A and B are shown apart, each in its own frame.
Chain A
Amino acid sequence: MTSPATGRDTGPADAAREALAPPAPHRGRAFRGMVAKRLAFIPLALFAVITISFLLVSIMPGDPALAILGSTASEREVAKVRGELGLDRSLSERYITYVGDVLQGDFGRSFFTGQPIRDEIVKYLPASIELVVMALAVASLVGITIGTAAGYFRGRAPDRTVRVAIAGLEAIPGFLAGLLLIFFLFFLWRLAPPPTGRLGIIDVYPPPVTRFLLVDLILAGDWNGLRSALHRSMLPVLTLALGAIPLFAKITRTTVGNAMGSKQIQYARACGLSEWRVVQYALLQARTPILTYTAMLFGAMVGGSAIIETIFSWQGLGQWGLKAIVALDIPAIQGFVIVTGLFTMLVYLVLDLVVAALDPRIRHG
């Protein structure tokens, strides 16, 4: 570093001043615009979901009145129940009433329990979210770790091992994994509590503040209850996680593997960065696809884990929705479709915002 004049001699001022980014006040405008656009889309999509859920159930075969009364009911009784349920009115009339009710937060009452659907959703949705969050936490930790190892060592022994493990896990259906885990961990080895719900018989449910059991237990300061609930979460979380691990591992293996061959990583190595740093750079490249995948899984698993929730008596949204479908409980099915649809939309919204916030190219427009 002898003369500072070198820079001036070799690089004309105009050239070096070419196109810097727009000055600071303009930054973030694109980001806010994107947020506004995404938010504006929500009501539109919600309206579509409500319409679809209404039509879907209305054109489904089977008469709800018959489902309630049983096949031995007389025609007069059936007609009476149909009248009570409003099924004797025209489709368009029912549609308008329904949309109006839903927009006011009224999803109707269950044909069978007579409970407002909204109360049931508020009761079951938090349980499913807790289950899925725990399962995704475990699955992403394990899946991203082994996926990174496989991507980094692509084509070598660690990669082959991970691929065999992925294929093995993929071959086991969720319900079988659940039953096997119950058989070994509970029945044979007594390492896990029985699959009889989220708390033991002697455990006391905390006052419902957030309706998320684990959060409520913490708020109530019931540490024994929390330990019991976490212990009982072990098997269902593990079962659900086992299904998601291969998905995380595959997406990570592919993205990290591709990143390892990228110019960016080659340059990082040419600069002498340590292999840990190089893996960190590769994971930064893989971040967006992994986040996208997590959001997709989150949306699909809340409400989509019916079988596993049933096996473990988890009392979640999926279990409730499955029951409603089997019983042809139309208001419940409609509520289920709308809630899972809305939930998925919100998850995707958050995903878009997080991805945009993490990427300086989007964040600063």
Chain B
Amino acid sequence: MSLHVRDVETRFRTASGEIHAVNGVSFDVGDGELVGIVGESGSGKSVTINTILGLIRAPNTISRGVATFGGRDLIAMRSGALRKIRGAEIGFIAQNPFGALNPVLRLSRQFENVVRAHRRIDRKTIRRQALDMLGHVGIHQPERVLDGYAHELSGGMAQRVVIALALMLDPTLVVADEPTTALDVTVQKQILDLIAALVRERQRSMLIITHDLGVVANYCDRVVVMYCGRVMEDGPVREVFRRPYHPYALALLRSVPRAGQSLETLGGRLPKLNAEPVGCLFRDRCPQSKDICASVTPPLREVSPGRKVACHLDVETEVPPLVAG
């Protein structure tokens, strides 16, 4: 099922003032589409997802905007109704399986708890389905894994269990928050291949949050580039990676290490988010910034079909191409 996010805002009220973590984020995840949200730490990508899924429970939090999923607005929804969607219609793959799985409950119990939170199914059936699903995610001794605990597994296997849990109720959208950051490099590719294959095979939609441009390039159809709680650029992965329009997206792609070339880095630092953001938040680090960038917030506008950029520049002429010359 498709997800349409419009103007989502999240602010945390703290003792030292308000933190504007997410400042009007809009994007879409179409049917059967794999969308990657990229951004550095603190860009608000996780907060955006947690806002949409109703996972932010801290007091003094203000959330605004619309997130339509299957015709229902998740942000306006009451917490009880949203709970029934989480896990059943939207599967969640956590970043660190050992932080997510319960260390003192047998995995069979955790499968039961997840399924029974949504369906009235007897234990035997759940067990059969869980064994089946564990087989699907490439676990060879599902019986032993199911009757054991999380700490008995390697990182890769634990993440496979989390994937199995996410897919147990056959959700129409899968959300993966940095699904491989906590894993060994050698296992990362296997896990991503597995997730992508399972989602494509079932023709489900998927949202991957990552700071790894390689993950986006290899697995996603579309990319949403976030910076300081705003969407900077949104478009098909191939096009954006060949010719980024937003100066930030350009800087991000140029900072990917390439063999035989010196590493390009971006000067400056992230602006503080404790005031109502005005203008373009990237302007201080942007080599092409103009006067208007400080006073007017650039809207996310469609530059060419399927490609959106939040920039005042005439991006096709004023922003240099990825590879100079």
Contacts and interface: CB of A to CB of B under 8 A. Distances in A.
Contacts of A17: 140-141
Contacts of A6: 136, 197-198, 201
Interface stretch (A51-59, A126-134, A267-275, A290-298): A267-275
Interface stretch (A7-15, A75-83, A88-96): A7-15
Contacts of A18: 154, 156-157
Interface in B17-62: 50, 53, 55, 57, 59-60
A4 B53 contact: no
A229 B94 CA distance: 55
A237 interface: no
Given A16-B138, A155-B59, A272-B114, A264 B99 contact: yes
B83 interface: yes
Interface stretch (B101-109, B210-218, B275-283): B101-109
A37 interface: no
Contacts of A15: 138, 156, 187, 190
**Which of B84, B104, B105: most chain A CB closer than 10 A?**
B104
Contacts of A13: 140
A271 B198 CA distance: 18
B126 interface: no
B132 interface: yes
Contacts of B95: 263
Interface string B198-236: 100110000000000000000000000000000000000
B104 A10 contact: no
A263 B102 contact: no
B33 to A, nearest CB: 20
A284 B105 contact: yes
Given A263-B99, A270-B53, A270-B86, A10 B149 contact: no
Given A10-B193, A264-B102, A272 B137 contact: no
A361 B150 CA distance: 9
Given A272-B87, A364-B149, A20 B141 contact: yes
Contacts of B194: 7, 10-11
Contact of A360 (B83, B151, B154, B187): B151
Nearest to B87: A272
Contacts of B104: 284, 287, 358-360
Contacts of B293: none
Interface string A348-365: 000000000011110010
Interface string B254-280: 000000000000000000000000000
Given A272-B84, A284-B105, A10 B138 contact: yes
B85 interface: yes
B193 A270 contact: no
A1 interface: yes
B117 A271 contact: yes
Interface residues of B, number: 58
Contacts of A1: 132-133, 136
B86 A271 contact: yes
A21 interface: yes
A281 interface: yes
B96 interface: yes
Interface string A253-295: 0000000101110111111111101000100100100000000
Given A4-B135, A267-B100, A16 B160 contact: yes
A98 B106 CA distance: 52
B248 interface: no
B245 interface: no
B64 interface: no
Given A263-B94, A271-B117, A9 B197 contact: yes
A2 interface: yes
Nearest to A281: B102
A263 B100 contact: yes
A10 to B, nearest CB: 4
Given A15-B190, A270-B86, A281-B102, A20 B152 contact: yes
Contacts of A269: 55, 57, 83, 86
A360 B190 contact: no
Nearest to A272: B87
B88 interface: yes
B135 A7 contact: yes
Contacts of A12: 190
Contacts of B145: 20
Interface string A286-325: 0100000000000000000000000000000000000000
Interface of B: 50, 53, 55, 57, 59-60, 83-88, 92, 94-96, 99-106, 113-114, 117-118, 132-133, 135-141, 144-145, 148-149, 151-154, 156-157, 160, 165, 175, 187, 190, 193-194, 197-198, 201-202
Pairs of residues from A and B, 8 with the lowest C-beta to C-beta distance, nearest first: A11-B138, A272-B87, A21-B152, A267-B100, A270-B92, A263-B99, A7-B138, A272-B86
Interface of A: 1-4, 6-13, 15-21, 154-156, 260, 262-264, 266-275, 277, 281, 284, 287, 358-361, 364
